[in-house]
Chains A and B, each alone.
Chain A
Amino acid sequence: MIAAARAILRKDLLIELRTKESVPAMTLFALTVYVLFHFGLDRDSLDGELAAGVLWVTLLLAAVIGVSRLFAAEREQGGIEGLLLAPVDRTALFVAKAVGLFAMLVVVEVVAVPTFGLLLLGPGLGGALPELLAVFLLGNLGIAAVGALVAALAAETRARELIVPILLLPLLVPVLISCAQATEPLFRQEQGPEDLARWLGLLSLYDVVFVLLSVAVFDYLLED
């Protein structure tokens, strides 16, 4: 299973490196939305809850773009039938897609988050880096697992691009709540009390539930 997952992941990463379709678009989208927020909120700098909210909502919206495109390669080149005919464990497919999405999110965040710090964040980013990394790690894991599941669910429907946003975003509300609440103290002018542990705990629970669920259920999708 690991070998199969690695093979699919390799293929996806190579395609993305060659075509450079999803990641640049997601990154550009995030940066554009930050600019939109500047104009929409009419603020030069944000801190605390507002900053955390703007950061995470934008990242979630960018994730929607990535999820919509997750099975695009298979669809466009008719690869799905090929994948299904081969004796590939659906779990491998899920792992590959989820890890791929995770990787895409990380790349987007590496660019978008510092830019956010530059453009809109009042207090500096530097202070609580390890905590921030923990939040991003667990948050991205949740987005990746649920994103892969939603991508598969919407893969066969006619109204794919319409279904993905309205399906993915409500499911990610707990992730949004946890990540925004966790990063909010890190973005305050005066470092306030942090309840990082409980939000990381909730994120971990969410991740465990949805990773296990997606693995269990993926076999029933894309089956023919």
Chain B
Amino acid sequence: MPALPLDEAGKYVAGAYVVFLALILVYVAIIGAKIARIDRELTELASEDDE
């Protein structure tokens, strides 16, 4: 199959890199949420312990 013209090919290439980026960002967001939850529970625990 002959190579796609640049503008059409560009969309596919961009799509591939966007998928890659999206995966990383979603993953980091999930880990971030997990860390936030840990932090929240630690604060709760610390305040309970103070009482």
Q: Do chains A and B touch in the complex (CB under 8 A)?
A: no
- Listed in ascending order, the chain A residues whose CB lies under 8 Å from chain B are none
